[in-house]
Amino acid sequence: MHKISIKLFVKFLLLLALSIIVVGCSSDSGSKDKSSNRSTKETAGVEDSKPKKGGEVVIGYSVDISSFDPIKGGSGSDDPLLYPVYDRLLSFTPDLQPQPGLAESWETPDDKTLVLHLREGVTFHDGTPFDAEAVKFNIERLKSKESLFADRVTIESVEIVDPLTVKLYLSEINVSTLIALADRAGMMVSPTAVKKYGDDYAQHPVGAGPYKMVKRVPNGEVVFERFDDYWDKGKPYLDKITIKIMTDENTRINALKSGDIDMATRLASPSNIPSLKSDPNLIVEDDITLRFHKIYLNSLMPPFDNKAVRLAVLHGINREELIQSVNFGYGEPAYQPFPKDYWAADKEMTIKYDPEKSKKLLKEAGLENVSFKLLTNTSAYQTSLAEAIKGQLEKVGIDVEIETMELSAAVSKFYNDKSVPALLTSWVGQLDPHLTIRGLYTGYYLVGETPATLLPLISKANSTYDQGERAQIYKEISKVAVNEEALDIPLFFPPEIYAMNKRIKGFEQNLLGRYMFSTMWIEE
């Protein structure tokens, strides 16, 4: 069983928690069931508008970056601040299909070899050429002991074929390696800058992306300016992007309405949607992404060392009711680790709310007076969700004791001390379903043993490049992990809410919920 990196996970959850703040009251309780497949969605106004160059956009964002060095940052919240600076070897579509990036094409001559053909004429912001030598430098740096991701890299070695061609040799068959190159693993930093600045490199980030980072005030703002020698001629469109760090959601909303910022991101409170949509100057979206709320279980600790209790909790929670009462009707019930319209999801899979079944499971197991401690963070949102779960489980004879504490302490208590059996928090999406399944069910974030029936399925799903075949295997994995074993308790997929001034064009959300601001332009 793999060992979880507690330091990394604490950082990830801490930054995530900052974006899940207080939920207020709402006048809109209608169910919002939005498709998670964003590949065909048009951004408002784009279809009748042509990109225009020039101008500046100011964006309100909820958390500061943990590091401008891609291999040293520990949070998915970093990515929207990294994307402007760092182009990646591959990119991805809004529905997370791989597409060309700094590598304009690729091939797999065998299951453990990946050949990348690089773009010609690309330079880093400091004038350093981007070529096969730069790729080799970056991959080896990714695999080094200073990298937070070294234990997740299955690239064994890099061969330079010619200045614009590299071969990546994998230590094992790993289909997810390709799309991983569209994330941090594929973010290319300037070798010259790394050698020049050493341990201080994160203070002087140099990539080959559309923008240069020219100013940063920690927990204040980050300023990006257009890189005139960007390889994709004509882009980017904006001269300047300023991202202001505003941890309070209401502060972001007020700044948007007053015109101090042009876009407010990570609006976690669905109660704010009606008032935002009533403003004729704003575009408001609430999208389902891969992030979902769940209860992490310690299956080595009573009462969850008994599968009957896990299954009783699984069927004793009314997910639709949680969405209505806590999320004001916005969201999608989570019956598996993926939203229903994602390619790896089983559209037919459900978790029936059946309190009588829960009672029967406990009775047949000879269990009475079942109770457990549910740990969560101190935010009003998480506390409200925990209280709602407590009330539902009381109806099936399970008593829940809620304990709240600062998030990093809660995570440490659950994973390090292993002194509580359940943790209520969220899981953020990954570019490939294997990365989610591996993380949740093979030890990275699983406190317990992976069922023997799952291991061959997980290996098989990551050993074929046929997406249709992979999808069928992931359906089986979800059934075993959730319906049969209840290794965790999925709750619901909350909406990813953002709002922006109507003069902003070209922005499109992706299924990860990680904002890419570089495609935007202004239409006055």
pLDDT digits (tens, 9 = 90+) for 263-310: 999 998 888 999 999 999 999 999 999 999 999 999 999 999 999 999
Which of 133 and 445 is assigned the larger pLDDT? 133
511 pLDDT higher than 60: yes
What whole-number percentage of the chain has pLDDT above 70?
90
Considering the domain architecture, whether residues 245 and 310 belong to the same structural domain is answered as: no
What whole-number percentage of the chain has pLDDT above 90?
76
Q: Residue 5: what pLDDT? A: 41
Cα–Cα distance for residue pair 90/181, rounded to 1 Å:
6
Coil, helix or strand for 211? Answer: strand
Q: Residue 271: what pLDDT? A: 86
pLDDT tens, 59-92?
999 989 989 999 998 777 899 999 999 999 999 9
Give the 3-state secondary structure percentages of the chain, helix then strand then coil, rounded to 5. Answer: 30, 25, 45
Residue 401 lies in a domain: yes
As a whole number of Å, the CA-based R_g of the chain is 23
Cα–Cα distance for residue pair 342/396, rounded to 1 Å:
32
What token pair was written down for 173?
């068959």
Residue type for position 121 = G
Q: Residue 155: what pLDDT? A: 94
Q: Residue 48: what pLDDT? A: 59
Cα–Cα distance for residue pair 238/225, rounded to 1 Å:
8
Considering the domain architecture, whether residues 501 and 423 belong to the same structural domain is answered as: no
Q: Which residues, other chains included, contact 275 with Cβ-Cβ below 8 Å and sequence gap of 6+?
A: none
Considering the domain architecture, whether residues 362 and 503 belong to the same structural domain is answered as: no
Domain boundary among 198, 231, 266: 198
Contact 92, 182 (CB under 8 A): yes
Q: How confident is the model at residue 38 (pLDDT cuts 50, 70, 90)?
A: very low
24 pLDDT higher than 80: no
Q: Residue 36: what pLDDT? A: 37
Residue 26 lies in a domain: no
Considering the domain architecture, whether residues 512 and 483 belong to the same structural domain is answered as: no
Considering the domain architecture, whether residues 334 and 448 belong to the same structural domain is answered as: yes
Backbone angles phi and psi of 389, in degrees to 5: -65, -45
Q: Residue 198: what pLDDT? A: 96
482 pLDDT higher than 70: yes
Contact 259, 504 (CB under 8 A): no
Beta strands in 325-479 (DSSP E): 332-333, 370-376, 398-404, 422-427
Residue 35 lies in a domain: no
Considering the domain architecture, whether residues 185 and 75 belong to the same structural domain is answered as: no
pLDDT tens, 142-166?
999 999 887 678 899 999 999 999 9
> Closest by alpha carbon to 408, among 15, 41, 119?
15
Q: How confident is the model at residue 14 (pLDDT cuts 50, 70, 90)?
A: very low
Contact 62, 14 (CB under 8 A): no
Cα–Cα distance for residue pair 219/489, rounded to 1 Å:
34
Q: Residue 429: what pLDDT? A: 84
Domain boundary among 198, 217, 235: 198
Sole residue written with tokens 């964002």: 61
pLDDT tens, 301-339?
999 999 999 999 999 999 999 999 999 999 999 999 999
As a whole number, the mean pLDDT across the chain is 89
Residue 218 lies in a domain: yes
Q: How confident is the model at residue 412 (pLDDT cuts 50, 70, 90)?
A: confident
CA distances from 356 to 395, 484, 487 (A): 10, 18, 21
Residue 28 lies in a domain: no
Residue 1 lies in a domain: no
Sole residue written with tokens 């050493």: 198
Average pLDDT rounded to a whole number, residues 135-146:
96
Contact 57, 263 (CB under 8 A): yes
Backbone angles phi and psi of 223, in degrees to 5: -115, 130
Considering the domain architecture, whether residues 144 and 188 belong to the same structural domain is answered as: yes
Considering the domain architecture, whether residues 109 and 190 belong to the same structural domain is answered as: yes
The length of the chain in residues reads 524
Per the DSSP assignment, residues forming a β-bridge with 289 are none
Which of 93 and 13 is assigned the larger pLDDT? 93
Coil, helix or strand for 436? Answer: helix
Domain count along the chain = 3
47 pLDDT higher than 90: no
Backbone angles phi and psi of 404, in degrees to 5: -120, 145
Q: How many CA atoms lie within 13 A of 6 on its CB side?
A: 13
Cα–Cα distance for residue pair 342/301, rounded to 1 Å:
33
Contact 80, 213 (CB under 8 A): no
503 pLDDT higher than 80: yes
16 pLDDT higher than 80: no
Write out the residue range of the structural domain in which residue 215 sits: 46-85+209-288+495-524
